[in-house]
Amino acid sequence: MALGFFDFFGFGSKRRSALQLLDRTLIALEVNPAYIDDGMRFAIYKWAEAIAPDVFDQFMREAAAMISFCALGPAETEALWGPAVRVEREARFNAVLSGGNDDSIDARLVKLTLAKDIAAPDIRTRVSLEETETDAS
């Protein structure tokens, strides 16, 4: 119980290590971690803890990749890492737009980047267009 209490407030090593991994991955993916506030970090950590406790590090890296794509946009992603990486990340993003599973982790991450206003303009436009098309149906 005491260790869980310390982890909750960030004094435990598991939470601290996970958040440091998220920050390091964001930096490697050209996203300034200052854009990601503590509330966003905590939400991602809690999702990882609930959904993927066995592959925690992989979950944090995949979350950072989706955040990076949303923050940078497809053109910048391709300029930095090439077309193959852009295609892979854009496929994940497009799956969110067309999937209908608003509770998937990628959908949550896209919503979070939009809500925190860190999404690239072209990402915001694409989501707005998809919502408009859906509303018109």
pLDDT at 6: 55
pLDDT higher than 90, residue 61: yes
Q: Which residue has the higher pLDDT, 52 or 91?
A: 91
Q: Is the pLDDT of residue 104 over 70?
A: yes
pLDDT at 13: 75
| One-letter-per-residue 3-state SS of 26-43 | HHHCCCCHHHCCHHHHHH
Please give the structure tokens belonging to residue 13: 């090593």
Task: For residue 130, give the nearest of 98, 103, 90, 105 by alpha carbon.
Answer: 98
Mean local confidence (pLDDT), 16-23? 90
Q: Does pTM top 0.85 for this prediction? A: no
- Do the Cβ atoms of 120 and 71 come closer than 8 Å? yes
Alpha helices in 82-120 (DSSP H): 83-99, 105-115
Contact 71, 35 (CB under 8 A): yes
Contact criterion met (CB below 8 Å) for 51 and 59: yes
d(CA 63, CA 45) in angstroms, rounded, equals 10
pLDDT tier for residue 85 given thresholds of 50, 70 and 90 = very high
Band (56; pLDDT cuts 50, 70, 90): confident
Query: Within 13 Å of residue 130, how many CA atoms lie on the same side as its CB?
Result: 14
